[in-house]
Amino acid sequence: MLHGRIHCFQLAERQVTSRLDLLKRHLNYADLLVIFVYVPSRACWLLTYDWRGGDLLCRVVKMMHTVAFQSSSNVIVCIALDRLFSVFSATRHSPDKANRRIRVMLATAWTTAFLIGMPQLFIWRSYVPFAHLNWSQCLQIWEIARLENATARGRLFDAESWYSIAHIGLIFWIPALIIVMCYVMVLSWVFINSRPSISRKGKRTGSLQTGCETVDTVLTRASEWNPLKTFSLPKMKDIKEDKSIGDALFVRSPPDR
């Protein structure tokens, strides 16, 4: 009988490890998108200050930038939700249901990332402000409209502002709020269930071990915030830099090559 209990415990532990490995693997996929899509394209632009990929590549690259950042944030949210459900959900004792839940959440995370990235195909354009120099930039439609028509500045401000708010909110602030709420709820549960039992006169309840394990897991998963902090905050700065490009285009033309 003892052997059977040990076998069941090992099986459950293996399922939990497999579930966490799946989450970490998908987080690595999202980070690889950032490393191999965002970083090279950004580095090329910083080296040349010129967009040489054409209009189609401009749209696709900007869409993949959003997909990379959004998928990273979404997967981190999945990790936080998995920790929350592992504590409060009635299916926490059913590894099969937990695995199905994780797969559904990950599929939703990636689908949402691509859906949020799709509008970038219509927002970004390749634009040549100096035709005689063959110098092009990958700009938002609002920047192009302002460059071609100075009177459009006031009319376009509202649409551009709402776009920026939605973009930063979806990539950073909404995921951050969900993650914080999940971990606050988990830590509250740990605190409540780890208090000394009154009936046992100061002795710890049996849930202390579970609470300690949960705290350890929460701290481990909290370390996965690094991609969110590393890549999302520079992204906010990049949007401001991209907005300043259009204003600088006609102030100072590039040197003849």
Which pLDDT does position 139 carry in this prediction?
92
Which pLDDT does position 31 carry in this prediction?
92
Per residue in 142-169, pLDDT (tens digit) is: 888 888 776 555 555 678 888 999 999 9
Contact status, residue 53 vs residue 61, Cβ threshold 8 Å = yes
Region 208-229: what's the mean pLDDT?
53
- Tell me the pTM: 0.71
Which helix (H) or strand (E) element contains residue 3? helix 2-33
Higher per-residue pLDDT: 81 or 13: 81
| Residue 208, C-beta contacts closer than 8 angstroms, at least 6 positions apart | 193, 194
**Which DSSP category does 170 fall into?**
I
Higher per-residue pLDDT: 6 or 160: 160
Structure tokens of 228? 């969110």
Contact status, residue 115 vs residue 235, Cβ threshold 8 Å = no
3-state secondary structure 10-66: HHHHHHHHHHHHHHHHHHHHHHHHHHHHHHHHHHHHHHHCCCCCHHHHHHHHHHHHH
Query: 10 Å Cβ neighbour count for 188?
Result: 11
Structural domains of the chain ordered from first start: 2-249 (1.20.1070.10)
Which pLDDT does position 93 carry in this prediction?
62
Per residue in 24-82, pLDDT (tens digit) is: 999 999 999 999 999 999 998 889 888 888 899 999 999 999 999 999 999 999 999 98
Region 75-91: what's the mean pLDDT?
85
Which helix (H) or strand (E) element contains residue 180? helix 174-193
Mean pLDDT, the chain, integer: 75
Which pLDDT does position 145 carry in this prediction?
84
Taking Cα atoms as reference points, which of 138, 137, 140, 144 lies closest to residue 123? Answer: 140
Which pLDDT does position 108 carry in this prediction?
96
Predicted confidence band of residue 255 (pLDDT cuts 50, 70, 90): very low
Residue % of the chain over a pLDDT of 70: 64
Which pLDDT does position 186 carry in this prediction?
87
